[in-house]
Amino acid sequence: MSMSYTSSTSVSREAATYGGFVDALGGIATIVLAIIGLSGVKPDILASIATIVFGAALLIQGGAMLSEFAETEMTPDANVASGGGGLSALFLVGIGGIVLGVLALLGIRATILTGAAVIAFGSALVISSSAVWQLLTSRSVAMRFQARPVVVRFIASEVAAGSAGVQAMCGLSVIVLGILAVCGVFTGPLTLVALLVAGASILLTGSTLTGTMVGFMRDAPAASTTRLG
């Protein structure tokens, strides 16, 4: 049983680490594309490509968070509230964003479709912020922190609260910018700015931070050895 549990958690850790790395690259790529578009280099095409990239990044973030939830729930004394709503939003909006981005890239009402995708992205960021909070403040994770120094626990608590809060605020900003863009107020620039904010959000508070924090909270190697024994 111990060996089986350890093997499962190892696979989950590797999946979350890989997912966090790729989703960080997606955030960086979205930021770069948005900045280039804002500089005047084919903004419509770059907005469509950035929409596709960010949609893919949301899918990867959802997968990485799902891996972390699965690992946390497999631990002893786990009591994690379901983050299904937030994770479902990430998957559905990610797929929808990719589809809308492809259609926009083909020239089908590009400005309207990218603006609609941006609004959906912002909504997904707001909804999934609660899942980030649940993951970082779960009972099983908190119990693993009991052996850590007080300063470490304080920093982790502040980062957990800040992560969810910043993601929610970025999501709200993206929604507002997307609505203004769809209404025709500086449609191109505001869409790119919204994608820039969304990319920064997923880079700073997405599954990269989640994977880092949960990894930081895990048992020390000595404790792992004891369990295996």
Interval 179-215: pLDDT, tens: 999 999 899 999 999 999 999 988 877 655 555 555 5
At residue 73, does pLDDT exceed 70? no
CA atoms of 70 and 98, how far apart (whole Å)? 26
What is the average per-residue pLDDT within 115-134? 86
At residue 30, does pLDDT exceed 90? yes
Which of 113, 133, 82, 99 minimizes the C-alpha distance to 187? 113
pTM of the model: 0.75
Least confident of 33-42, 132-141, 177-186: 132-141
What's the pLDDT score for residue 228?
43
Which runs of consecutive H residues, i.e. helices, occur in 39-80?
43-74
* Averaged pLDDT of the chain: 75
Percent of the chain with pLDDT over 90: 39
What's the pLDDT score for residue 183?
93
Q: At what angle do helices 207-217 and 150-182 cross, to 10 degrees?
A: 170
Which runs of consecutive H residues, i.e. helices, occur in 77-149?
84-105, 110-136, 139-144
What is the average per-residue pLDDT within 5-23? 52
CA atoms of 194 and 178, how far apart (whole Å)? 7
CA atoms of 217 and 183, how far apart (whole Å)? 45
What's the pLDDT score for residue 26?
87
The residue to which tokens 């929409």 are assigned: 51
72 vs 92 pLDDT, higher one: 92
Instruction: Answer whether 197's CB lies under 8 Å from 34's CB.
Output: no
What's the pLDDT score for residue 62?
81
CA atoms of 65 and 212, how far apart (whole Å)? 12
Tell me how far apart the terminal alpha carbons of the chain are, to the nearest angstrom: 11
At residue 89, does pLDDT exceed 90? no
At residue 83, does pLDDT exceed 70? no
CA atoms of 32 and 126, how far apart (whole Å)? 23
CA atoms of 146 and 151, how far apart (whole Å)? 12
At residue 12, does pLDDT exceed 50? no
Using DSSP's 3-state secondary structure scheme, residue 4 falls into helix
5 vs 109 pLDDT, higher one: 109
77: left (phi over 0), alpha (psi -120 to 50) or beta: left
